[in-house]
Amino acid sequence: MQPEDTPALRELYKGFENHHLIPLWTQLGDLMPIHPKPRAVPHLWKWSDLLPLAEKSGELVPVGRGGERRAIGLANPGLGGHAYVSPTLWAAIQYLGPRETAPEHRHSQNAFRFVVEGEGVWTVVNGDPVRMSRGDLLLTPGWCFHGHHNDTDQPMAWIDGLDIPFSQQNDVGFFEFGSDRVTDYATPRFSQGERLWCHPGLRPLSGLQDTVSSPIGAYRWEYTDRALTEQLLLEEEGQPATVEQGHAAIRYVNPTTGGDVMPTIRCEFHRLRAGCTTPTRREVGSTVFQVFEGSGAVVMDGVEHTLDIGDLFVIPSWISWSLQAETQFDLFRFSDAPIMERLNFARTHVETPDR
């Protein structure tokens, strides 16, 4: 479909180059593919690889002002050496040694932490100390000051999720240093945000203004577990409660709106009954899962990967995927779905199984 290669055409193309121009007709397939053809690839990181490297970093790399965090980012093999798990998302394992402090700062990028094991660290968000324990989701929405400190004699590791690649690609990020130490070393069981907001269906009259991101700093495992347990029980009782047969799931939401916890990142938790397999799906946008409990597998783009606790995998846009539960299988999930939905790019395709 390309024009004949003539001296005149070469001169034209030279003119394009000289004037910082590129013709569409030589690029169309790349620029506008028939369906999303991500450079990012499906990939699995084993917790058994990640944790020892994080521990070793704890020995060799100090944490403090400048480097800011002892965080090791998952670099999608398809994305050319950038610390991007997908074009929009950052995922990392962060590690804090005994009694260490990661200094306070804030940035436009939205962040959360999820704890697959351990406890003992408090993250201090806009002055509110938030305990981090196993199974908890902790939020630090854009432009909130935050630092962490480990109140124990044991190290702790967890995962961080942010919209760093999106922010960097689109030039939206600001960053500001805060206190070198966290502003409050108290270690309360519950943060102020939780004490105000974690009462189901109740909203404080002092908080009637809707907020862009959730005012809840910590979503506790106890509640997540109970919600999923109830869904499976209701399913057994014949009530509509699960998203699919054998598949319970919750979305973490902003209680002021019922919508996603942050403007760019969706967080969910999924539980499959032993033996359950989810239908094969494709979705616009990228998503990351971390196994929290149990064992099973994921099939991505036709390739099966066995999964154990702590394992992280990324599913790029429009790559087919299905989960398989060997035991009861618990997975934390985050994605860029709010971006896709707010900009009207969301699409899902679910394969109907042959019979």
> What CA–CA distance (Å, rounded) separates 282 from 171?
29
- Give the residue, chosen from 185, 199, 302, 304, that forms a contact with a second copy under the rule CB under 8 A: 199
CB of 145 to a second copy, least distance (A): 14
- 175 binds a second copy, rule: CB under 8 A: yes
CB of 292 to a second copy, least distance (A): 15
> What CA–CA distance (Å, rounded) separates 180 from 119?
22
- 221 binds a second copy, rule: CB under 8 A: no
- 67 binds a second copy, rule: CB under 8 A: yes
Contacts of residue 309, defined as CB under 8 A and 6 or more positions apart, other chains included, come to: 47, 116, 117, 291, 292, 293, 294, 295
CB of 230 to a second copy, least distance (A): 4
CB of 350 to a second copy, least distance (A): 14
- 167 binds a second copy, rule: CB under 8 A: yes
> What CA–CA distance (Å, rounded) separates 70 from 56?
11
- 323 binds a second copy, rule: CB under 8 A: no
- 57 binds a second copy, rule: CB under 8 A: yes
- 299 binds a second copy, rule: CB under 8 A: no
CB-nearer residue toward a second copy: 90 or 152: 90
Handedness of CA 33, 35, 36, 41 (dihedral sign): negative
CB of 297 to a second copy, least distance (A): 20
- Give the residue, chosen from 123, 224, 278, 335, that forms a contact with a second copy under the rule CB under 8 A: 224
CB of 118 to a second copy, least distance (A): 20
Binding part of the chain for a second copy, among 5-13, 147-155, 289-297, 301-309 by CB under 8 A, reads: 5-13
> For tokens 């760019």, what's the residue?
264
Question: Taking a C-beta distance cutoff of 8 angstroms, is the pair 132, 155 a contact?
Answer: no
CB-nearer residue toward a second copy: 227 or 309: 227
- 285 binds a second copy, rule: CB under 8 A: yes
Task: Report the b/e string of 257-267 with b at 16+ CB within 10 A.
Answer: eebbbbbbbbb
User: Both tokens of residue 261?
Assistant: 């916890």
CB-nearer residue toward a second copy: 205 or 355: 205
State the burial class of residue 237 (Cβ atoms within 10 Å of its Cβ: 0-12, 13-18, 19+). exposed
CB of 288 to a second copy, least distance (A): 13
CB-nearer residue toward a second copy: 150 or 224: 224
> What CA–CA distance (Å, rounded) separates 42 from 297?
14
> For tokens 């939401």, what's the residue?
253
- Give the residue, chosen from 226, 301, 306, 348, that forms a contact with a second copy under the rule CB under 8 A: 226
| Residues of this chain, 21-50, that bind a second copy according to CB under 8 A | 21-25, 27-28, 30-38, 40, 43, 45, 49-50
CB of 320 to a second copy, least distance (A): 14
Among residues 40, 41, 51, 87, the alpha carbon closest in space to that of 311 is found at 51
Q: CA torsion 311→317→319→324, rounded to 10°?
A: 40
- Give the residue, chosen from 122, 145, 158, 252, that forms a contact with a second copy under the rule CB under 8 A: 252
For 196, the 3-state DSSP assignment is: helix
CB-nearer residue toward a second copy: 153 or 171: 171
- 80 binds a second copy, rule: CB under 8 A: no
- For 205, phi then psi, to 5°, come to -65, -20
